[in-house]
A and B are shown apart, each in its own frame.
Chain A
Amino acid sequence: MSSAPYDQVQVLYRTLLVFATVAVVILAVGLVEFVYFEPPGQATGVKAQIVGVYAYEPSTGATQGSDRSAFTRTEVFAAVVDWSGLPSDLNVDARWYDAFGSVVGRVGPSTPAKLGSSSIVPVITPQGLHHNLPGDYTFVVERLQSGVPVEVLARRIVLVER
């Protein structure tokens, strides 16, 4: 080994700066992704109405009981949406997301008029499982633009207990 030239730490420093530049690019791409899916200035002021979240009977396709905010893992449940209050030209859908962010129930996308009969949106147990996964489930009515959800018109969170 030979003696160490003083400015070798500068090589390390410059290498680190190169890596940091790549890091800034990565974070910028992340920011662009966020803005693309969460575009600013999309608030229309329109509000959808979620009537409630109820226990659901898949065989009859009907809801039962009263509006609830918590369910057990073995219970099947569904949200009921009132599409009638929404402007007819909007492109909307309604989705259930489980605690892992996976879509576990959906109607749409379409116009509120066409979705009028699809007012009940049940949660579907993931394939291969016997029960719903526990955690917070988020139900949203969304406005879409070019096929991408850009605004939440109504939101409801219910808990599936462990």
Chain B
Amino acid sequence: MSTSTYTTPPAANPHPRLRPGRYGIAICITAVVVIALVISSLLNYVYLDTIPARTSLYGLLAVALISLGTYIGVRAFTRDRASRRKHLIRAGVLLGLGTLLWLLVLDIFVFTQAAGPGVAAICALACLPTTALGLLVVRRMDRNEKEPWRLVLVAAAWGAIVATSLVIWGETIWDQVAQRSLVPGPGLDASTAFSAGLLEEIAKGLAVALLFLVMRNDFDDVVDGIVYGAAVGLGFNFLESIAYMTNLYAIFSPDGIGWYAAGLQWYGRQVLGLFFGHATYTAFIGAGLGIARQLPNKRQKAFAIVSGFLIAIAGHFSWDAWVQFFPIDNSLFGLVEMHLRTLIMTGPFTAALIALLIFGIRYEAMGLVDQFKKEAATGSGAILPEDVPILASPWRRLKQRLRAFRRGGLRAYLEVARLQTAQLDLAMERWHRERKEIDMPLEAEDALRQRVIQLRHWVPAT
């Protein structure tokens, strides 16, 4: 394939011309989500007429705008340069309108009535740096091929806005029914925990599933799944933290301990529980989807996906249902207990996830090294034999970039980074093709190879 037919160099992972069958599944999931949102919000509004019910109804438009904007924005990057800008502007306008509308709805019907917009803004500002740090760490976990920021942020935005909206409605109905029909106490607590585990994890998991279905070229394996899943969890945790902080502030401020209550909640969710709670649970869904991505038969794929969801639901459920069995003492020792409780209850899940992650990174690295060597052996010039040890090690790649920086400044650094990324993409493409888990034509691989060779010409010798 000649590169001259493009108005811009082809993307590192070019997309096929024809839409694969999984897009149909993605469209069905999206349609189900939209219908569920509309029906549940209408039911809430008609039968409950509470503040969340009004929020759900008025928030529908915001959710629709954000969903459409996200879709157009993500797809814009697969278009050539001429039409990309137009689509990005459209996406930006839709996302902006949706966000403003959503904030308006939240401010008026939730935060303003609870604690006031000033408190809501302070809480949001307090949660922003911790969540941003969390996203940075999560993205860097993928040492071999980092996920694009746009997709990581899309995942976090879904977690924060769409998933939270979905669960407000589902949980409201579940809780209202349970509160009016069950015996209060541990049974009701278990029911509430089931509702949180089931509804919240499904709502968050849908985002990861949609990324898995639509953005297959950027969803390579278990590591990518964990990154996207954790990003969705961090987004969800961000908005939930704000909601809990403002709510507790409003509850306890008449007793003069509003900021203390909100601060404790911030520490518990944004520091102590940043990686332990939602991030861990949803990362398991991503892990299941990531493993399914590389499994050979459909039965195993289905089991892997269901397993990811089951682990996430169980982890979430166990925290919500049994946290009451680890009461926190109202003394200085309570601070120690608070940490121990998180470590004991969520620690095993996080440890299990880290084990999958470490294994996944090693497995991915081995696969890539194998492909570096094979590509170098072809003599195409995209990867040279002397490139292999450098590409195989994140540290050596960094050293190579820093050498370029010292010689030619930031521009040289970025050019080498682009070359390395393209070489990694080529190796990843080869890996998937060798494993027969790719539905793109061979021309896509040739286009990647040409891009690497083109970039190599632009990059000065390092």
Contact = CB atoms under 8 A, between A and B. Distances in A.
B182 interface: yes
A145 to B, nearest CB: 11
Overall SS of chain B's interface: helix
Contact of B182 (A38, A73, A128, A136): A38
Interface string B187-212: 11111011000000000000000000
A112 B72 CA distance: 66
A134 B186 contact: no
Contacts of A78: none
A6 B435 contact: yes
B250 A16 contact: no
Given A6-B435, A12-B222, A133-B251, A149 B183 contact: yes
A150 B370 contact: no
Interface of A: 1-4, 6, 8-9, 11-13, 15-17, 19-20, 22-24, 26-27, 30, 33-34, 36-38, 73, 95, 97, 101, 128-131, 133-134, 136, 138, 140, 142, 149-152, 155, 157, 162
Contacts of A73: 254
B239 interface: no
B315 interface: yes
A125 B194 CA distance: 30
B312 to A, nearest CB: 8
B202 to A, nearest CB: 14
A138 B255 contact: no
26 contacts: A1-B365, A3-B370, A4-B366, A4-B367, A6-B435, A9-B294, A12-B222, A12-B359, A20-B307, A20-B308, A20-B311, A23-B311, A26-B315, A27-B310, A33-B187, A34-B190, A36-B186, A37-B185, A38-B191, A95-B184, A131-B254, A131-B255, A134-B251, A138-B184, A149-B184, A155-B180
Contacts of A15: 355-356, 359
Overall SS of chain A's interface: mixed
A12 B366 CA distance: 14
Nearest to A135: B251
A30 B363 contact: no
B321 A16 contact: no
A39 to B, nearest CB: 9
Contacts of B183: 37-38, 140, 142, 149-152
Given A33-B190, A36-B186, 11 more contacts: A8-B366, A9-B295, A15-B355, A15-B356, A16-B308, A38-B183, A38-B191, A134-B250, A138-B184, A157-B179, A162-B113
A12 B289 CA distance: 12
A30 B291 contact: no
Contacts of B356: 12, 15-16
A26 B355 CA distance: 20
Interface string B155-198: 00000000000000000000000011011111111110110000
Contacts of A134: 250-251
- Of all A-B residue pairs in the complex, the 4 with the closest CB atoms, nearest first, are A37-B187, A23-B314, A20-B307, A4-B366
Contacts of B304: 13, 16
Contacts of A97: 184
B287 interface: yes
A51 to B, nearest CB: 20
B254 A140 contact: no
A136 B182 CA distance: 15
Contacts of A129: 252, 255
A136 B178 CA distance: 13
B25 interface: no
B317 interface: yes
A73 B254 CA distance: 9
Contact of B255 (A24, A38, A130): A130
Contacts of B186: 33, 36-37
B363 A1 contact: no
B440 interface: no
A12 B291 contact: yes
